[in-house]
Structure 1
Amino acid sequence: MSEPGALRTRLDRLFREVAKFGVVGGLGVLVNLAVFNSVRHFSDLPVVRASIVATVVAIVFNYVGFRYFTYRDRDKSGRTRELTLFLLFSLVGLVIENGVLYTATYGLGWDGPLASNFFKFFGIGIATLFRFWSYRTWVFRALPAKEAVQTAESFLEQAPPRQATRRQPDRV
């Protein structure tokens, strides 16, 4: 494939991946904010604890969406590894997301409902950048490209066949 054609194909794949990630992530944000506001409204949990509960619910929702929609074509052989890395990077995202909310609420004293939702949303945005990079790089790894497999197969076909050497029987 020509260089411009290969670049166009890679950019097209990246665009589709970002779009699918955005759909799942957007729904995850709605789940996150809905749970956050419900917990705040129906319980006495402090703001950041309510946010952590909402983030955990959204992480579960997002894993299902990413595994079965966004990255369904990716390697599925190491599910334990995949889930462990997903949870690890999601935990880092949780800290980023709720660190922003914590700083605004307890560091700056901005703890009204509007401010809490704004900084929750802002924290989600920052954490999303980290999550996108880490999920696509470490968690949902791409299978080998068809071109690479075909190149390797053609290389093997061109190699001359190895001749087996016969071992001469030992003479006594």
Structure 2
Amino acid sequence: MDDGSRRSRWQLLAHEMAKFGVVGGFCYLVDVLVSNLCHGVLGIGWLSAKTVSTIVAATCAYIGNRHWSFTHRARTGLRREYTLFVILNAIGLGIALACLGIARYVLDLNSVLAFNLAGNVVGTGLGTIFRFWAYKRWVFLHPDDPKAVLHAETDARRGQRLPEPVGRL
């Protein structure tokens, strides 16, 4: 691999991370607001409040990531992408719930601060690292990925026009 293609790959990674970060920042605010509304105002338990907030934030994240962060990547079908997205977000939710469960049931912490630190800082942070890696690996594929090529060929045989990427990298 020459220096030019290596530099280009790093630039693409930085570009994707920046967009993922913007979408993630917005969805993080949604997650924190909804989880605190559910727990602090509605009195819903820690794990249930985090589950509701993650579902709302993940839906926002899918829309933002599919249509902006990873718009230049291959499209392999809404059903396939969204199914994988839901599964990977369930794993991310599991990471956040594990952090909350340890804080609440192992460390016996029960303050709003502990709820936010365990679930919305540590849990969401670890889950975000996992999700960025997993989305790139399985959901929003590089156009040269064999699965993306297979889906593009199938769509072409069906006479479906593939969407053009929005914007340049």
Q: Deviations over 1:31-52 (max 9, x none)?
A: 1000011111221211111111
Q: Please identify, of 77-86 and 10-19, the stretch whose mean Cα deviation from structure 2 is larger.
A: 77-86
Counterpart of 2:61 in structure 1 is 62
Q: Which position in structure 2 is the counterpart of 1:168? A: none
Tell me which residue corresponds to 1:111.
110
For 1:111 and 1:75, the matched residues in 2 are separated by 45
For residues 47-58 of structure 1, what are the structure 2 equivalents within 5 Å? 47-58=46-57
Partner of residue 135, structure 2: 135
Q: Partner residue of 1:101?
A: 100
Equivalent in the alignment of 2:159: none
2:62 maps to amino acid: Y
- Give the C-alpha shift of residue 74 in structure 1: 1.5
Aligned positions of 1:18-167 closer than 5 A: 18-120=17-119, 121-144=121-144
* Structure of higher RCO (CA pairs closer than 8 Å, 6+ residues apart): 2
Cα shift at 1:102: 1.2
Moved over 6 A (4+): none
Amino acid at match of 1:142: H
One-letter code aligned to 1:102: G
Q: Sequence identity of aligned pairs in percent?
A: 37
Deviations 1:59-88 (A, max 9, x none): 101001101110112222422111111111
Deviation at 1:10, TM superposition (A): 0.7
Query: So what's the TM-score if we normalise by structure 1?
Result: 0.80
**Corresponding residue number in structure 1 for 2:5:** 6
After TM superposition, give the deviation of residue 98 of structure 1 in Å: 1.3
Kindly provide the amino acid, as one letter, of the partner of residue 91 in structure 1: A
1: CA distance between counterparts of 2:113 and 2:106? 17
Unpaired segments ≥5 residues, structure 2: 146-169
TM-score (normalised: structure 2): 0.81
**Larger radius of gyration, structure 1 or 2?**
1
Map Cα deviations across residues 99-148 of structure 1 (whole Å, 9 max, x no partner).
11111011111110111101111100011111111100000001139xxx
Letter in 2 for 1:30: L
What is the distance in 2 between the residues matched to 1:86 and 1:108? 32
Question: RMSD in angstroms over aligned alpha carbons?
Answer: 1.3
Answer with 39-48 or 18-27: which moved more. 39-48
Distance 1:61 1:32 in 2: 10
Count of equivalent residues: 144
Give the superposition deviation at 1:95: 0.5
* 5+ residue gaps, structure 1: 146-172
How far apart, in 1, do the equivalents of 2:114 and 2:144 lie? Answer: 45
